[in-house]
Amino acid sequence: MEAKFQKLKTRMLEVNDISSAAGLLYWDQSTYMPPGGAAARGRQMATLSRLSHEKFVDPAVGKLLDELVPYEESLDYDSDEASMLRVTRRDYERATKIPSTFLAEVTSHTSESYQVWTEARPANDFERVRPYLEKTLDYSRQAAEFFPGYEHIADPFIESSDYGMKASEVSRVFAELREALVPLVSTITSQTPADDSCLHQYFPEADQLTFGLEVAKQFGYDMNRGRQDKTHHPFMTKFSLGDVRITTRTKENFLGDALFSTLHETGHALYEQGIRMDFEGTPLAGGTSAGVHESQSRLWENIVGRSKGFWTHYYPQLQKAFPEQLGSVPLDAFYRAINKVERSLIRTNADEVTYNLHVMLRFDFELQMLEGKLEIRDLPEAWRERFQADFGIVPPDDKDGVLQDVHWYYSLIGGGFQGYTLGNILGAQFFATALEAAPEIPSEIENGTFDTLHTWLKDNLYQYGSKYTAPEIVERATGSPLSIEPYMAYLRTKYGELYNLGN
């Protein structure tokens, strides 16, 4: 049995190595590749993705998994071996349900759709992508049928990124959150908006990068196993547990962009770097779900990185880095600026209070489209109506409305958004539990040290990688299932104080 288990591990290592190489092809394309390399690079990435998929869905893997059932049953649920088998089996069952020919067809379609979107968005031309989006929705509904027995047609997609969650559960949580959030947003946005002009000055790129990376290191990002480069869109990527990289971009006329995206990606990287090194190359060596991953990026970006305590320590350093720009701006004004709440059009630029409204809009639309209740041709109008209802404003065009996010234009529709808000909720829940265990964390943050928080997160979350599902790890780490209470308490306290809401 052990020999069979080793054989399976070897195959998984091979799959991991090929995917990691594909990841490097992408990282290089985004960072240093000369323009002339683009055509071949697309082909090379496709070749490696296909190969890694083939190696994984190989019937030989299924046979090994079948033969290993008694072995798995003989092991403790919590043992690494049982967990590895459990996760591999889950991924294998999922991957083999979708026929390769269908997958190839979808990939070919979505890469065309993505291409069209890159031109249609700046041209504000929804009609151009409409037929592609309609076909994508068709494919999405077909894809769901490979998972018969689902409760909701969106479930197969939600399970793929947030295993253990279902549409019904997410909808229930989101409804609860929405009920609490909408009045809060209304109250805040009825006040005079914060003045964030101090962030909109000239900040030289090199100094921005230096400052951001210094904070990242102080958070605990291990540069011996990481690095930062510049890309058009910031991301975190991992080639092994010894090589977890982040990227950022800078805007020289806006301080907020590089700074907070660096802290965000650092959060993702801390999670991956914190996984047990002996999981290297196994299916356990990765974050467990989109939501839990996002909980860490949002925790470090917002709960830590936009807190008063953090800036009590770091603001003098930031002023030193940018004396002309910030020398005469008091801490309080800066703190208000980085936490400005406003009704804005673009999800990725939204503050942490309104952000979830953007996400829920998209999540609800995904369900309705998959259910067949929302036609693609009605999507732009539905977007405007919902936006009016949720934000009190109407996007002036589709470019900054229904065309703004890449998700629906480069992959199937479904499961693409809920992770962002689940992340906000879970980040607060993890943080609250860490504070209960170690009440000294806030004062440490005020001193610019993050060891206790980082260690708690490693011990209770990071080290396990994908060993436990999101609901399992949330329960284990916090003692409760997912709950919006810590998140709402966090928002009410922070923004209550910022906006004198008397709470």
Residues designated catalytic: 265
C-alpha dihedral sign at 216, 221, 223, 226: negative
Among residues 6, 32, 93, 372, the one that binds its own copies under rule CB under 8 A: 32
- Cα gap 396→386, rounded to integer Å: 14
Q: Is 20 in the site for its own copies (CB under 8 A)?
A: yes
The structure tokens listed for 413 are 């529709």
Q: Is 227 in the site for its own copies (CB under 8 A)?
A: yes
Q: Is 51 in the site for its own copies (CB under 8 A)?
A: yes
Angle at Cα 379 formed by Cα 102 and Cα 366, nearest 5°?
Answer: 50
Q: Is 209 in the site for its own copies (CB under 8 A)?
A: no
Residue type, 159: E
Q: Is 25 in the site for its own copies (CB under 8 A)?
A: yes
Q: Is 103 in the site for its own copies (CB under 8 A)?
A: no
Give how many residues touch its own copies by CB under 8 A.
Answer: 40
Among residues 7, 11, 17, 231, the one that binds its own copies under rule CB under 8 A: 17
User: Of 51 and 333, which has the nearer Cβ to its own copies?
Assistant: 51
Least CB distance to its own copies at residue 378 (A): 42
Helices (H), 339-440: 355-371, 379-391, 407-410, 418-437
Could you tell me which stretch among 26-34, 68-76, 390-398, 493-501 binds its own copies (CB under 8 A)? 26-34
User: Of 34 and 149, which has the nearer Cβ to its own copies?
Assistant: 34
Site of tokens 């995917």: 19
Question: In angstroms, how far is CA 411 from the centroid of its own chain?
Answer: 16
User: Of 267 and 281, which has the nearer Cβ to its own copies?
Assistant: 281
Cα–Cα nearest to 307, from 350, 253, 261, 352: 352
Q: Taking the CB of residue 212, how many other CB atoms lie within 10 A of it? A: 22
Helix (H) or strand (E) holding 229: strand 228-230
For the segment 228-257, give every residue that binds its own copies (CB under 8 A): 229, 239-243, 245
Residues 267-296, one symbol each (x = binds its own copies by CB under 8 A, - = not), give: -------------xx---------------
With a CB cutoff of 8 Å and minimum separation 6, the contacts of 98 are 143, 146
Least CB distance to its own copies at residue 63 (A): 20
Q: Is 18 in the site for its own copies (CB under 8 A)?
A: yes
Given the DSSP bridges, would you call strands 236-240 and 228-230 parallel, antiparallel or unpaired?
unpaired
162, 291 in Cβ contact below 8 A?
yes
268, 295 in Cβ contact below 8 A?
no
Least CB distance to its own copies at residue 280 (A): 6
Which residues sit at the interface with its own copies, rule CB under 8 A? 13-14, 17-18, 20-22, 24-25, 28, 32-41, 43-44, 47-48, 51, 222-227, 229, 239-243, 245, 280-281
